[in-house]
Amino acid sequence: MSTSFPGILEPADTLDALTFDEQGLIPAIIQDEETNRVLMLGYMNAASVQRTFETGRVTFFSRSRQQLWEKGETSGNTLNFREMRIDCDGDALLIKAAPKGPTCHTGADTCWDESNEDPAAFLRLLEQVIATRETEDDDASYTVKLLNAGAKKISQKVGEEGVETALEGAAGTEEKLAEETADLFYHVLVLLRSRGISLKHVTDVLRTRHGG
Question: Can you list the domains of the chain with their CATH numbers?
Answer: 7-99 (3.10.20.810), 119-210 (1.10.287.1080)
pTM for the whole structure: 0.63
Between residues 16 and 131, the one the model is more confident about: 131
Compute the average pLDDT of residues 54-79. Answer: 95
Inter-helix orientation angle 142-149/119-133, to 10°: 70
Q: What is the pLDDT of residue 5?
A: 52
Q: CB neighbours of 153 closer than 8 A, spacing ≥ 6?
A: 146
The runs of H, that is alpha helices, within the chain are: 14-17, 46-55, 119-133, 142-149, 151-171, 174-194, 199-210
Residue 35 has pLDDT above 90, yes or no: no
Q: pLDDT class for 122, splitting at 50, 70, 90? A: confident
Q: Which of 187, 186, 178 is nearest to 159 (CA)?
A: 187
> Residue 32: what pLDDT?
94
At 172, which amino acid appears? G
Confidence of residue 195 (pLDDT cuts 50, 70, 90): very high
Instruction: Provide the pLDDT for residue 2.
Output: 42
What does the pLDDT read at residue 1?
38
